[in-house]
Amino acid sequence: MKTEGPQVVEQTLNPFHICQRQVLGACQALGLEPAVYEILKQPLRVMEIAVPVAMDDGRVETFIGWRSQHNDALGPYKGGLRFHPEVTMDEVKALSMWMTFKCAVLALPYGGGKGAVRCDPRRLSRGELERLSRGFIQRVSPIVGPDKDIPAPDVYTNPQIMAWMVDEFSRIREYNTFGLMTGKPLILGGSAGRSEATGRGCVYTCLEAMKRLGIPVEGARVVVQGFGNAGSVAARLMHERGARVIAVNDSRGSIFNGQGLEPAAVLEYKAQTGSVVGFPGAAAISNDELLQLECEVLIPAAMENQITARIAGGVQARIIGEAANGPTTPEADQILFDRGRLVLPDILASAGGVTVSYFEWVQNQSGYYWPEEEINQKLEIWMVRAFNHVFQMFQEQKVPMRHAAFMQAVKRVADGMRVRGWLG
């Protein structure tokens, strides 16, 4: 697939257009019939909703939200639900597409979905947040369910929000429907190990990549952009394996210590102060400086479009493990590939969350629950197997890892559509 130069990067930051380009490139490389791209280039359904919420001060405020269902050729839609003040419909559509291919890369029996509400949950009281959560699931209830579409936590949502939604949906159905959501509290059928799954899955792929490249884990320098759930877990697990976490950041700023940071101490400091900024013994650096630090492993675990063409030429990491969705633009991806940097794409490296969500769904459907140790063992098996399949195509086709992952995923979805008769 032909890529354009860095000079057009600002015109390609729309995540929906980025995802379309990635799918088109995979379709062309695989020599698939045009009908495959025509179906995969957009979601099969996008529902836009308005949720009026009674605020604590007596006002009624209306929040806009979406549920995008991209493709269900291989199984019910699956994907997170985020609350964010700047989320857009195109972002939700793109994320639902990425979920389709993330599930396909891991060979999970799911299609891709994604949901969002445009709001700032940090400014909502607990009561307002509960009423918004219940209102959202009321609006989308006709199109979701354990055999239709299974949401999960994402940016600024959590197990409690999932619990409110499960309860509201169960009221609508008039029976308990715990399998509606994954990422639930354990008491409502949540899975052991789910809260750490995204960060843990990313670490499993990074460790496997280090093994392939002959990079010792002991003493390896690791940089983590985004010290939220996925990033803090990845930092802690890499530290426990003997790596040296030299820099982390959050939405307020970045910190650096070349001798290494103690992730647990940084997390405790953030819980007390609200940010990693000001952590004792660490220097303040910019986000750009963090992304371009000399290190063995860089883990972007924040938001989309963080590594652009402007940044990519200075990225020093040998391995970039994408714990976030869409953190690298197509132009930057090509630059990193040309410079010999191994990018572990989001649809592979951040798939630990949806993999354990699949385990949770299976447990809900069967009523039989596994201990956390067994969950983590199963996750490692699935992540390493998926990595090996993608890495083999990367070596054979001599294309970027992201392109190899999309080729694997698109082929699987296309095969499913073909046998179902969708392609004529």
Judge contact between 324 and 303, C-beta under 8 A.
yes
List the Cα angle 306/310/315 in 5-degree steps.
70
Order of all β-strands in the sheet with 244-250? 283-285, 253-256, 244-250, 221-225, 297-300, 319-321, 342-344
Cβ neighbours around 47 below 10 Å, total:
16
- In angstroms, rounded to a whole number, what is the distance separating the alpha carbons of residues 314 and 289? 9
Judge contact between 332 and 5, C-beta under 8 A.
no
Q: What does the DSSP assignment read for 14-82?
A: -HHHHHHHHHHHHHHHHT--HHHHHHHTS-SEEEEEEEEEE-TTS-EEEEEEEEEEEE-SSSSEEEEEE
**Structure-block tokens of residue 350:** 């951040």
- In angstroms, rounded to a whole number, what is the distance separating the alpha carbons of residues 169 and 326? 31
Cβ neighbours around 35 below 10 Å, total:
15
DSSP-derived pairing of the beta strands 77-84 and 149-153: parallel
- In angstroms, rounded to a whole number, what is the distance separating the alpha carbons of residues 115 and 92? 6
- Residue 41 catalytic? no
The sign one gets for the Cα dihedral 193, 198, 201, 206 is: negative
DSSP reduced 3-state for 313: coil
Q: Which of 154, 197, 202, 194 is nearest to 348 (CA)?
A: 202
Q: How distant, in Å, are the alpha carbons of 137, 239, 321 from that of 282?
A: 43, 17, 24
- In angstroms, rounded to a whole number, what is the distance separating the alpha carbons of residues 346 and 424? 32
Q: Which of 285, 310, 315, 283 is nearest to 300 (CA)?
A: 315
Catalytic residue among 114, 184, 270, 411: 114
Judge contact between 357 and 78, C-beta under 8 A.
yes
Question: Which residues are part of the catalytic machinery?
Answer: 114
